[in-house]
């Protein structure tokens, strides 16, 4: 499909007025969405209005609907909740209320609304849109507005963004606020685990989710909980017995703590509620374990938004403005949502109807259907959780007589341990004997290899770094010794978790197949590196954690600058030659510029940035933030840029520099990395089992085709196995980066939000898609 790129410069907002409101329960990241709508709106020369206090403010009018400027949304990116307020509104549910709201909007010429809220808020907006022309006619009859206004403001355009921590909206993989809520839950779980460990306690944690078990399910997956209760998948009859057996078995295996997660809307198969107190009483009565209940409550809605939520909300906000500009009287109200890593537009009412279908299925006891309607991401989470949490008795496990080795290669990345845990447990479930290699290929050559069991990887999901140990050494100089070890330990398949070195390592091993039969076995790589520079995958394990570290640090640095006015900070990030961390960090932290290797820059650009900051210091926002990727340019070093800015900014601003260094590799993995690591690794292990069956001939495994050495990566919306030999053509080996990188498309976004004139290719957006009902088969093949 060879189409000309379409740029939004052709879309002008002149003469248009956009109202933005937040409604329903608050969620972290709403402010990032508000900021993006305001700035993108002003950028395309539209007028933008805040509607304070949701629909209530729209009905009350007056000071609740105010035109805003660029600076109005400064410094709100890192703030949780919503700065424009949200309120439940009874009067908007009446026609009189909506009539008053329509009058207030027409007075200001607002015919475009951007609504950020849950399904209730969005349904209300759609009704308002349908009634709009009728409301205007009624206002004209009452003499409140003239016929001219009825013609001029004939139709109302509506675009929604879903802000809800429950992730309970069909049609989008992630709603704004979900990732941040998971951060809050995981912080609490990690803290509770240390105290539970000390006292051999059982903790019952209640998380939010009245009608949706997403938070409970994903946090159970991310912390390796012993049991989870969610509304979509009630436990079978007699669950009390099986849960108690599971808990006591875990204790018998020397596990000092048990974690049980309960969604607040959890039910049994007769639709009766299962409460955290009920679960606690059961454990105390049956087992006599020392048990405590912790109800997380509104902590989950609070705190600063995660990097993921800021980027998601910023992308959605910009997309929402584009959708409003392109709106016609016939365009149905749409929601901007996320599919894989793409922003897509879907008809609002299709999504709402599907969301209501889930509830209906649950009410009627059709639970399998409810899980399917939730979407493939939810279904995948559930299947992975079931696979990893319950060990079958040895007698029930199949025996394949295959030995599979797992190793970490490259630099440590948060989430590697979650990936190793998933690989080991899925491997054991599939009937293989699992081996752990210590210290990468170098350790392999020295025979540092041992069998690893189900219990050995307990509690690994939340650990940062690499427990197995990892080295950057490539296998080429140890081929003979590694082949010996493979023969001695009878290794039939390899799973390598790591970064660019892991990719190079697999290329070297497959090239050595001609000489060594030992390497003619299935091999798979799971990408794990903070740099996110592995070809064949849009994301790699560890990058999200590093991004959050960068964002947190930038927040603190910005705060320090607000005390000392007129200061510019220059921050150096990791990533080798890959600008992912610098670019996405800049988007998440609201930076003024990001220097990356992929987009060459010269002295003129540096000068333009200095002038831009000089202009900025004349406004009320007197601070600047500039990110620089460590290898973006060998001559324009961090020191050089710091000295240039210091000299050119004399008398206007002063400068400070900060090199973030190895703190970007450390820390506990973020919920995204734990989850991504767990799911991608489980899938890789299932691929290995399939390949072992296919290549087992006459009592031995022999695999020498290209498709038996694969990299499993996330591509747009799906997880795909790609032969490493084919990925060679997509790789810049000198700079260790993929030749094409999806996130470069988001580069103009950062510039627009920092007030630079730029062109933004919107070819990908604009088509209204439909909510896809997926088949059960699809859940196995594709999505995360």
Residue positions annotated with a catalytic role: 166
Tokens of 145: 């507005």
**What does each C-alpha distance from 770 to 145, 154, 312, 556, 774 come to in angstroms?**
38, 27, 20, 42, 12
Pairing of strands 493-498, 403-409: parallel
Nearest to 40 by CA among 748, 617, 626, 627: 748
3-state secondary structure of 117: strand
Report the DSSP beta bridge partners of residue 409.
471, 498
Q: Distance between CA atoms of 538 and 691, rounded to whole angstroms?
A: 24
Q: Distance between CA atoms of 711 and 510, rounded to whole angstroms?
A: 13
The percent helix, strand, coil of the chain (3-state, each to 5) is: 45, 20, 35
763 membership: H or E segment, kind and range: none
Query: To which residue do tokens 């005390």 refer?
Result: 563
Q: Distance between CA atoms of 189 and 39, rounded to whole angstroms?
A: 37
Q: Distance between CA atoms of 39 and 760, rounded to whole angstroms?
A: 14
Report the DSSP beta bridge partners of residue 345.
336, 768
CB contact set of 721 (below 8 Å; sequence gap of 6+): 524, 687, 707, 710, 711, 712
CA atoms in the 13 A half-sphere facing the CB of 275: 3
Q: Answer for the pair 570, 645: CB distance below 8 angstroms, yes or no.
A: yes
CB contact set of 597 (below 8 Å; sequence gap of 6+): 577, 578, 579, 629, 631, 632, 633, 735, 737
3-state secondary structure of 382: helix
Helix ranges (DSSP H) in 477-622: 479-488, 500-511, 543-563, 580-589, 603-617
């Amino acid at each position: 499909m060879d189409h000309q790129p379409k740029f939004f410069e052709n879309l002008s907002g002149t003469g248009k007025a956009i109202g933005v409101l937040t409604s329903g329960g608050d969620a972290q990241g709403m402010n990032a969405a508000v900021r993006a709508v305001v700035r993108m709106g002003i950028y395309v020369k539209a007028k933008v209005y805040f509607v304070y206090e949701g629909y209530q403010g729209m009905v009350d009018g007056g000071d609740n609907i105010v035109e805003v400027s660029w600076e109005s949304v400064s410094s709100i990116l890192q703030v949780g909740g919503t700065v424009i307020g949200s309120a439940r509104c009874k009067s908007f549910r009446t026609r009189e209320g909506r009539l008053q709201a329509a009058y207030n909007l027409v007075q200001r010429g607002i015919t475009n609304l951007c609504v950020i809220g849950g399904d209730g808020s969005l349904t209300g907006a759609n009704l308002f849109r349908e009634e709009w022309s009728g409301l205007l006619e009624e206002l004209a009859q009452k003499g409140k507005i003239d016929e001219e206004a009825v013609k001029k403001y004939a139709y109302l355009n509506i675009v929604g963004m879903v802000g809800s921590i429950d992730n309970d909206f069909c049609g989008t993989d992630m709603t704004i606020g979900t990732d941040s809520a998971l951060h809050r839950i995981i912080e609490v779980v990690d803290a509770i685990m240390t105290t539970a460990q000390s006292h051999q306690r059982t903790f019952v944690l209640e998380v939010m989710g009245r009608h949706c078990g997403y938070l409970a399910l994903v946090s159970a997956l991310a912390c390796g909980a012993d049991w989870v209760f969610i509304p979509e998948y009630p436990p079978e009859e007699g669950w009390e017995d099986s849960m108690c057996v599971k808990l006591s078995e875990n204790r018998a295996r020397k596990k000092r703590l048990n974690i049980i997660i309960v969604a607040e809307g959890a039910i049994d198969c007769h639709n009766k509620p299962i409460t955290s107190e009920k679960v606690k009483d059961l454990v105390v009565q049956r087992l006599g374990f020392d048990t405590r209940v912790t109800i997380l409550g509104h902590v989950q809605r609070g705190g600063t938004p995660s990097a993921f939520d800021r980027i998601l909300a910023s992308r959605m906000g910009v997309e929402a403005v584009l959708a409003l500009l392109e709106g016609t009287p016939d365009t149905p109200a749409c929601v901007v949502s996320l599919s894989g890593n793409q922003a897509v537009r879907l008809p609002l009412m299709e999504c709402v109807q599907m969301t209501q279908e889930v509830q209906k299925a649950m009410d009627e006891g059709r639970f399998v259907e409810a899980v399917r309607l939730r979407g493939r991401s939810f279904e995948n989470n559930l299947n992975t959780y079931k696979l990893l949490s319950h060990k079958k008795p040895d007698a029930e496990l199949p025996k394949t007589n295959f030995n599979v080795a797992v190793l970490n290669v490259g630099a440590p990345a948060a989430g590697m341990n979650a990936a190793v845990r998933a690989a080991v447990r899925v491997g054991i479930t599939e009937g293989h004997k699992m081996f752990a290699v210590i210290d990468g290929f170098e350790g392999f050559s020295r025979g540092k290899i041992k069998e690893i069991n189900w219990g050995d990887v307990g509690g690994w999901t939340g650990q940062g770094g690499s427990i197995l140990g990892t080295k950057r050494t490539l296998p080429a100089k140890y081929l003979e010794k590694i082949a010996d070890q493979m023969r001695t330990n009878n290794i039939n398949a390899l799973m390598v978790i790591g970064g660019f070195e892991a990719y190079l390592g697999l290329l070297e091993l497959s090239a050595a197949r001609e000489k060594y039969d030992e390497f003619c076995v299935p091999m798979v790589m799971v990408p794990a590196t903070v740099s996110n520079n592995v070809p064949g995958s849009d994301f790699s394990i560890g990058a999200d954690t590093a991004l959050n570290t960068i964002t947190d640090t930038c927040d603190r640095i910005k705060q320090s600058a607000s005390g000392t006015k007129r200061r510019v900070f220059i921050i150096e990030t990791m990533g080798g030659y890959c600008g992912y961390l610098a670019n996405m960090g800049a988007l998440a932290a609201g930076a003024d510029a990001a220097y990356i290797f992929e987009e060459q820059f010269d002295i003129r650009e540096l000068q333009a940035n200095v002038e831009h900051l000089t202009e900025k210091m004349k406004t009320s926002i007197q601070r600047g933030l500039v990110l620089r990727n460590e290898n973006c340019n060998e001559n324009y070093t961090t020191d050089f840029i710091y000295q240039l800015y210091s000299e050119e900014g004399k008398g206007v601003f002063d400068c400070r520099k900060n090199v973030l260094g190895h703190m970007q590799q450390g820390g506990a993995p973020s919920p995204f990395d734990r989850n991504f690591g767990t799911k991608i690794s489980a899938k890789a292990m299932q691929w290995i089992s399939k390949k072992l069956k296919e290549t087992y001939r006459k009592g031995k495994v022999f695999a020498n085709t290209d498709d038996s050495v694969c990299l499993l990566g996330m591509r747009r919306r799906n997880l795909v196995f790609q032969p490493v030999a084919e990925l060679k053509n997509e790789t810049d080996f000198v700079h260790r980066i993929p030749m094409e990188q999806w996130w470069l498309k988001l580069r103009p976004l950062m510039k627009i939000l920092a007030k630079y004139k730029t062109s933004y290719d919107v070819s990908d957006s604009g088509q209204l898609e439909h909510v896809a009902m997926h088949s059960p088969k699809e859940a196995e093949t594709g999505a995360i």
